Amino acid sequence: MRNRQQKFGEKGEAIAVRQLKKDGYKILETNYLTKLGEIDIIAKDKDTIVFVEVKARRSVHFGSPKGAVTTQKQRKISMVALYYLKVTNQITAKARFDVVAVNLNRDKPRIEIIKNAFELAYE
């Protein structure tokens, strides 16, 4: 059974998927889970594979959503992204990392897509 925080996260991810589709992204995977970790959304933006981390917040009390993607989280996402590219035989494909910040503290969510939010991190 999912807790309140998990349900909130799922709501943020659903909002992010809708916005990405509206912006022309093709959704390839959601909640891509491996033994290395998880990527919220894998999409295609024209000829680029995009690994998307979604951060949803009710307020900025604990910091901004985009500031929550730490260096450690970037490394984990990078490892999963490399694994995905390898197992799908797309290791030479163009790829990037985006963050979708969803602020749900009002009636209408505020959504910000940060393209190229970070570089491949594997050290």
- pLDDT tens-digit series, residues 38-75: 999 999 999 999 999 998 877 666 666 566 788 899 99
Q: Is 56 strand, coil or helix?
A: strand
Q: Report, as an integer, the average pLDDT of 87-100.
A: 95
* Residue 64: count of CB within 10 angstroms of its CB: 12
Would you state the pLDDT for residue 122? 66
The domains of the chain, with CATH numbers, are: 4-118 (3.40.1350.10)
| Residue 120 burial (C-beta neighbours within 10 Å; 0-12, 13-18, 19+) | middle
The model's pTM is 0.89
